[in-house]
Amino acid sequence: MDNIMETLSKFINNMSQEDYVIVGIVIVLALFLIHIYSLRQEKKKLITTVYAHVKVFQKAFESAKDAMLIVSDTYDVVYANQAMVSLLELDNNFLYQPLKNVPQINTGKNWVELDAFLESKKDRINQKLLSFPQSMLKVIKEKEVLVNVYIDTLVEESKCDTKYYIITMQDLTEVKKISEMAYQHKLTSMPNHMKAMQDIPVLFSKIHTQNNKIALALMQFDNFSRLRSIVGYEQSNEVIVTFSNYLTTIVSEMNVNVYHTFDNHFLLTISNVDSVEDVKELIIQLQTKLAKLYKIDDTSLHLTVSVGIAIYPESGPTRKLLDNTYKALDIAQNEGDGNIAVYLPSTFQNEFDELRLHNDMKSGLEKGEFEVYYQPIIDVENEEVVAAEALIRWIHPELGFIPPDMFIGLMEKTGFITKLGQFVLEEVLKQQKRWELFEFKPIEVSINVSMIEIATGEFVEYVDNQLRYHQIHPESIKFEITESIAMFSEVQTEKYFQQLKKLGVGISLDDFGTGYTSFTYLKKFPADILKIDKSLTDDIISNVDDQRIVHAIIELGHNLGMKVVVEGVETKAMSELLISYGCDYIQGYYYSKPLPVFEFQKLLR
Ligand code: C2E
Ligand code: CA
Ligand code: CA
């Protein structure tokens, strides 16, 4: 080592100036080469790492269940994983060119080709990942798949800033199948109890605007456990399957949905029902047809089904309806095999129900469960809406939709009707003001008023104050009073009539034809309007007596200087007949059912 150092120092001492320069250059060059070499090594290492990562990602994408597609901004395919290749049925040469069969996407309304779809979302995608859950994908004509679609973008920051769309699709076919299975009865594949629970609220929600009757009918085989014990489990199941197939076929042409809810229970939901009798008739028809069918190994079995029916509104509020079919079924079965029973609250009327409704009324009014609906009244001269009747609706949080006939009487008994009446009057006056401000066509609104309210002695003053407070002209309000006014003494009645007349509001005599109003009363206390009750017009097309009575009432009303409204007009034929008798106004489902305010006011535009 000493020798080396000695030689080196001798060499340095003997070096000329040029030698120094040369050695310097050699050293710098060597250092530079070493630097380049290490850079290269690093790059090589980096490339190897990146390559390894790419392989890992590619492997992950390839085996991913979600289908992934990357396209350039000119819609050339840059990458598609295995799941996407099979979802879109891509052939081998799909890379670096546009898709041959461009799939279509439907996120709600229309089918759009994928390119056009991306183009339309271009600006939004720049900001965030877009998701389109439960969309439809159409690959070829016959292949439609339910998918969740997600779209993201990536801009490669190079000289030309290339943009890529990353499209991920989750195939929901299996999920759909499983969820469909959850709504099917295992034995018969019919819609099951869960499906019924999903569909019934939808059916009920239509009541609000359509006011249709709706029926639920629960069927059960009589003595089924005895059949099971005789023929065994397998064969009794066969009976159920045959029954379900037959039932499905029979009702397919009717306005009926069938559910296989439990073991040997079948539930029918029937919409657009006219009357209890119609439902009974339909069920008898089914029973007769079904009775012919039970056979095991060519041996006919005598099997019967009992049926419990609950009809809205006769059988109670909407959410009690299903429970009430069970009660009705119980009655039917107690009466013997093959029976039908309709649940009527009167058979079960107990204090509890009334007490409950009574307790819930006050809080219901405070919580906004009551709403005023409006039913148009049509002038026959020009077929225009000239007035409306305000009708109260109660949507109870647990019992659902409760028809007014179920609570008005109770409210009259307890005196709560005064509070309800005040609520309806205020709602109507506020609404009249809004219509006035927004320049809707002015109309008269009729409000039902119970004699209990008038008899408090404070009614007239209250109405007067409210009219002033809301600055509403008294002529835009009418009160509908039923014939029961005749139950009060003549003196009292005269007093109430005079007071109301003095206010300037109109008076309609409601439900005319059902009570005992005498001709003398009519003469002494003339109302502005006579409303002929629905019960007189129900059968007017076929019943000649009703035709004569209604015709006569219209003439009587006119002779006493009143205008006549006919209620409950449901068909064109009824409307035409009543117009020919000279009635002035028509109210009924034929023109419109009672509607929530936003629906109703469309008719005023
Ligand atoms: P109402 O005063 O006789 O009202 C007319 C009833 O007939 C309404 O029933 C209406 O929906 C129904 N209706 C109208 N056109 C037709 C038709 O073409 N076919 C059929 N089938 N029905 C028709 P709603 O709304 O169920 O009211 C029942 C009763 O409850 C009313 O009979 C009225 O007496 C009472 N009511 C409703 N709202 C109030 C209110 O705010 N206060 C008071 N005191 N009673 C009310
Ligand atoms: Ca009325
Ligand atoms: Ca009426």
CATH number for the domain that contains residue 113: 3.30.450.20
405 CA to centre of ligand 3 in angstroms: 12
Long-range CB contacts (within 8 A, 24+) of 194-197? 195/259, 196/259, 196/261, 196/267, 196/269
Nearest CA to ligand 1 atom 12: 568
pLDDT interval class at 499 (50, 70, 90): confident
**At which of 348, 373, 388 does a domain end?**
348
510 CA to centre of ligand 2 in angstroms: 6
**Hey, is 477 helix, strand or coil?**
strand
- Using an 8 Å Cβ cutoff, are 511 and 450 in contact? no
Region 51-76 average pLDDT: 88
Which pLDDT value is given to residue 267?
97
For residue 538 and ligand 1, the question of a CB distance below 6 A is answered with: no
For residue 591 and ligand 1, the question of a CB distance below 6 A is answered with: no
User: Which of 45-49, 225-229, 256-260, 355-359: highest mean pLDDT?
Assistant: 256-260
For residue 313 and ligand 1, the question of a CB distance below 6 A is answered with: no
135 and 205 assigned to the same domain: no
Buried b (16+ CB within 10 A) or exposed e, 485-509: bbeeeeeebeebbebbeeeebbbbb
pLDDT interval class at 348 (50, 70, 90): low
**At which of 177, 195, 217 does a domain end?**
177
Quick one: which atom of ligand 1 is closest to the CA of 590?
18
602 CA to centre of ligand 3 in angstroms: 24
Q: Which residue has the tokens 């039908």?
A: 340
Other CB atoms within 10 A of residue 272 CB: 12
Residue 477 lies in a domain: yes
Neighbours of ion ligand 3 (CB under 5 A): 510-511
24 and 173 assigned to the same domain: no
128 and 249 assigned to the same domain: no
End-to-end CA, the chain: 111
Region 154-166 average pLDDT: 79
Nearest CA to ligand 1 atom 34: 448
pLDDT interval class at 227 (50, 70, 90): confident
Which pLDDT value is given to residue 487?
58
Strand-pair category, 506-512 with 529-532? parallel
More confident call, 481 vs 522: 481
Tell me the pTM. Answer: 0.67
343 and 363 assigned to the same domain: no
310 and 387 assigned to the same domain: no
- Using an 8 Å Cβ cutoff, are 311 and 342 in contact? yes
Domain count, the chain: 4
Rounded Cα–Cα distance for residues 219 and 217 (Å): 6
pLDDT interval class at 302 (50, 70, 90): confident
409 and 523 assigned to the same domain: yes
Region 295-305 average pLDDT: 72
Region 316-322 average pLDDT: 87
CATH number for the domain that contains residue 368: 3.20.20.450
Mean pLDDT of all residues in the chain? 88
Which pLDDT value is given to residue 379?
97
Q: Which of 113-122, 343-352, 369-378 has the lowest mean pLDDT?
A: 343-352
Q: Which of 128-137, 407-416, 477-486, 566-575 has the lowest mean pLDDT?
A: 477-486
Nearest CA to ligand 1 atom 17: 568
Which pLDDT value is given to residue 340?
94
Residue 520 lies in a domain: yes
For residue 351 and ligand 1, the question of a CB distance below 6 A is answered with: no
Residue 11 lies in a domain: no
Q: Which of 212-221, 227-236, 479-488 has the lowest mean pLDDT?
A: 479-488
160 and 215 assigned to the same domain: no
pLDDT interval class at 294 (50, 70, 90): low
148 and 220 assigned to the same domain: no
Rounded Cα–Cα distance for residues 276 and 311 (Å): 7
Long-range CB contacts (within 8 A, 24+) of 74-77? 74/98, 75/99, 75/114, 75/115, 75/118
- Using an 8 Å Cβ cutoff, are 536 and 568 in contact? no
For residue 511 and ligand 1, the question of a CB distance below 6 A is answered with: yes
- Using an 8 Å Cβ cutoff, are 506 and 528 in contact? yes
Nearest CA to ligand 1 atom 21: 568
195 and 229 assigned to the same domain: yes
Range of the domain at 493: 354-604
Residue 10 lies in a domain: no
241 and 125 assigned to the same domain: no
Residue 6 lies in a domain: no
Rounded Cα–Cα distance for residues 431 and 435 (Å): 6
Rounded Cα–Cα distance for residues 591 and 376 (Å): 8
More confident call, 95 vs 267: 267
Ligand nearest to the CA of 594: 1
CATH number for the domain that contains residue 320: 3.30.70.270
580 CA to centre of ligand 1 in angstroms: 25
Nearest CA to ligand 1 atom 25: 391
Residue 531 lies in a domain: yes
Nearest CA to ligand 1 atom 45: 448
For residue 211 and ligand 1, the question of a CB distance below 6 A is answered with: yes
Residue 344 lies in a domain: yes
Residue 266 lies in a domain: yes
443 and 541 assigned to the same domain: yes
Quick one: which atom of ligand 1 is closest to the CA of 447?
41
Neighbours of ion ligand 2 (CB under 5 A): 448, 480, 510
**At which of 154, 177, 200 does a domain end?**
177
For residue 567 and ligand 1, the question of a CB distance below 6 A is answered with: yes
Which pLDDT value is given to residue 310?
95
Which pLDDT value is given to residue 351?
47
Region 142-164 average pLDDT: 84
Region 514-542 average pLDDT: 82
Instruction: Look at residues 115, 515, 141, 563 and name the one whose alpha carbon lies nearest to residue 380.
Output: 563
Which pLDDT value is given to residue 20?
83
Ligand nearest to the CA of 592: 1
Nearest CA to ligand 1 atom 11: 594
Which pLDDT value is given to residue 189?
93
pLDDT interval class at 148 (50, 70, 90): very high
Over pLDDT 90: what percentage of the chain? Answer: 49
Q: Quote the strand ranges of 357-452, DSSP E.
A: 370-379, 384-396, 400-402, 444-448
For residue 448 and ligand 1, the question of a CB distance below 6 A is answered with: yes
For residue 602, pLDDT over 50 is answered with: yes
Q: Which residue has the tokens 């600055």?
A: 471
pLDDT interval class at 212 (50, 70, 90): confident
83 and 97 assigned to the same domain: yes
Mutate to test the pocket of ligand 1, among 512, 531, 567, 589 (most ligand atoms within 8 A of CB): 567
Rounded Cα–Cα distance for residues 192 and 194 (Å): 5
